[in-house]
Structure 1
Amino acid sequence: MDLPEIPRRTFGLLLLVFLGFSFVGYVIGMASPDTALRAVEKLIEQIGPISDSSFENFVKIFTNNSMVALMMFVSGLFFGLGPWFIMAFNGLMVGLVVLAVHRMGDVPIGQIILGLIPHGVIEIPAIAIAGVAGIVWYRELVRGEGEAAERFKRGAVNGLKLYLLSVVLLLVAALIEAYVTPKVAGL
């Protein structure tokens, strides 16, 4: 399968939005610990509590992240803006959750970072690639050459290839998060 080129600038900016909003989420959580606690509760409500079964955790993580990636991909059709908002929201949530776990769970920041890095270095770029896929689809639709139906199809095919790459990366990240991260971070 020939992958279309990933627009590096868009990819990099999506990652910066995530990182920037992670910091914003952390700062908001410092100012309002209740907000951070509610974010953790919402996350647990969304994906369910952590299980004793690594396989069950893997399935939950992969399913949740695949749904986020699908939303990133499809939301690109909304004037190319959807992925930016979703990336910002997810970054905000990560910042809030990190602060909540640090403060309420009395977990050292170093341990939290060890809990994020092993899978996060794959997961976050994979989510960004799904966003790029949606933006690629939108850009082809708007700026491409040829009939509208042809541009739509060409954009969809190129975007879908990137989206599938994202899903494969999310599969790897979920395996790491469910099986490796708990051992590395001592969680």
Structure 2
Amino acid sequence: MGLKVFFYDLRTTRRLILIAALFFCASIVVGWLSTGVIQAILAQQMEGLGGVAQRLQNSEHPQWSFFVFIFFNNAIKCVLVIYTGALFGIVPFIFLIVNGMVLGFVVHLQTDMGRSMYEIVVKGLLPHGVIELPVLIIACAFGLKFGVNIISTLGTSIGLKRKGTGPSWEVFLKQTLTVSIWSVIFLFIAAAIESGITYRLLSH
């Protein structure tokens, strides 16, 4: 469960992490360029998030409220996205695409409203995003790996693959537990930064 074990597990999944990162980056571009139906869907997503943000802002202790919401929202989603990957990797794939598109859409929207890229990226995204976004990508990569392993095991069971060539489920499930624990730890740090440093930077 140590940090060395966590980084070792990342190395064993580096190809899927790279694939997940590429999908995420491509989704940001799609979100930035979105029009029509896609833009309407993303705008609806933003409306919902805007309503939540307004309620948190109006609470008695806004920064604490933001921290609690951000941490639990991200931590629960990241752990779920790993294990719902058992559904052939569909959930983590959708989660990855949607989050990338929302990010691209938000950045584009903010620039249209007159905010500089420096303010959006350096003040608004970088302080917490440097931790939060890699964790999101890693969680999705392990969710995709779960789906790949399920498909591989099914292939073996129906004779499409030779026995003994499938994944070691004991090893993989230990990896998912390690990744889940460290994801939650890193997301705790990211939430503290976002509700503290990012919140203050964007308030001025």
User: TM-score normalized by structure 2?
Assistant: 0.75
Q: Which secondary structure does the structure 2 equivalent of 1:76 belong to?
A: helix
C-alpha contact (below 8 Å) 1:29/1:35 kept by paired residues: no
Cα 1:32–1:127, aligned 2, differ >3 Å: closer, same or farther? closer
Cα 1:56–1:151, aligned 2, differ >3 Å: closer, same or farther? same
Give matches, 1:6-25, under 5 Å.
6=10, 7-25=13-31
Give matches, 1:72-151, under 5 Å.
72-104=81-113, 106-114=114-122, 115-141=124-150, 142-143=152-153
- Identical amino acids, percent of aligned pairs: 26
Cα 1:41–1:177, aligned 2, differ >3 Å: closer, same or farther? same
C-alpha contact (below 8 Å) 2:139/2:183 kept by paired residues: yes
Identify the residue that residue 42 of structure 1 maps to in structure 2: 48
Identify the residue that residue 5 of structure 1 maps to in structure 2: 9
Deviations 1:121-144 (A, max 9, x none): 110111122223333444455459
Deviations 1:69-97 (A, max 9, x none): 12311221111333122101100111112
Of 175, 178, 187, which aligns to 1:158? 175
- The one-letter code sitting in structure 2 at the alignment partner of 1:133 is F
- The one-letter code sitting in structure 1 at the alignment partner of 2:27 is F
Number of aligned residue pairs: give it.
Answer: 183
Question: Structure 1 residue 151: deviation in Å?
Answer: 5.2
- The one-letter code sitting in structure 2 at the alignment partner of 1:121 is V
Identify the residue that residue 62 of structure 1 maps to in structure 2: 71
Larger Rg: 2
Task: Give the distance between the partners of 2:44 and 2:111, measured in 1 at CA.
Answer: 14
Cα 1:127–1:186, aligned 2, differ >3 Å: closer, same or farther? same
Q: Which secondary structure does the structure 2 equivalent of 1:5 belong to?
A: helix
Question: Structure 1 residue 154: deviation in Å?
Answer: 4.3
Identify the residue that residue 181 of structure 1 maps to in structure 2: 198
Q: Which secondary structure does the structure 2 equivalent of 1:79 belong to?
A: coil
Cα 1:123–1:29, aligned 2, differ >3 Å: closer, same or farther? farther
Task: Give the distance between the partners of 1:31 and 1:77, measured in 2 at CA.
Answer: 30
- The one-letter code sitting in structure 1 at the alignment partner of 2:76 is M
